[in-house]
Amino acid sequence: MMPRAGDAAPSFSGKATSGQIVSLADFRGKKLILYFYPKDNTPGCTTEACDFRDNLGRLSRKGAAVLGVSPDSVVSHARFAAKHDLSFPLLCDPDRAVAQAYGVWVEKTLAGHVEELLKAL
């Protein structure tokens, strides 16, 4: 079940883009945009990642960090990040445990937009 506003965020940790371990605790004191996507280098996922990349400065000025999560490997994430100049980490979730903890492992119906997130911050 997806956490509701005001609920404690489910804890997580795992390998990220460069092989470092990233956890929810690393973002303590910051707003964290934790976004989930199904696969590196697919059209919609690439558009979404590049939208976060292009707006990272604006998000950072609002005190927010970005962390992408997908089942892909560290190698896949590193190639994806290099190809599209992504400067935020991508977390590997091979067993989809993080996605399940956040209640987001469902069939995709609608993509989010950075502009909507900026308005909410």
pLDDT at site 114 = 61
Whether 45 sits among the annotated catalytic residues: the reply is yes
Domain assignment present for residue 6? The answer is no
CB 37 within 8 A of CB 96: no
CA dihedral 67, 59, 88, 98 (to 10 degrees): 0
Is there a domain that residue 93 lies in?
yes
Residue 92, pLDDT > 90, answer yes
Number of structural domains found in the chain: 1
**Residue 70: which H helix or E strand, with range?**
strand 64-70
Q: Which domain holds residue 74?
A: 15-120
Chain-wide mean pLDDT for the chain?
87
Give the tens place of pLDDT for each residue, 2-17. Answer: 777 777 889 999 999 8
Residue 3 within a domain: no
Q: What local confidence, expressed as pLDDT, does residue 77 receive? A: 94
Please report which confidence band the pLDDT of residue 111 belongs to, taking 50, 70 and 90 as the band edges. Answer: low
User: How far, in Å, CA of 1 to CA of 102, rounded?
Assistant: 7
**2 domain-assigned:** no
| Torsion sign over Cα 18, 21, 24, 29 | negative
Q: Is residue 4 part of a domain?
A: no
| Domain at 24, CATH number | 3.40.30.10
Percent of the chain with pLDDT over 70: 85
* Given the residues 16, 22, 45, 56, the one annotated as active site: 45
Q: Which amino acid makes up residue 101? A: A
Strands of 64-70's sheet, edge to edge? 31-36, 64-70, 90-92
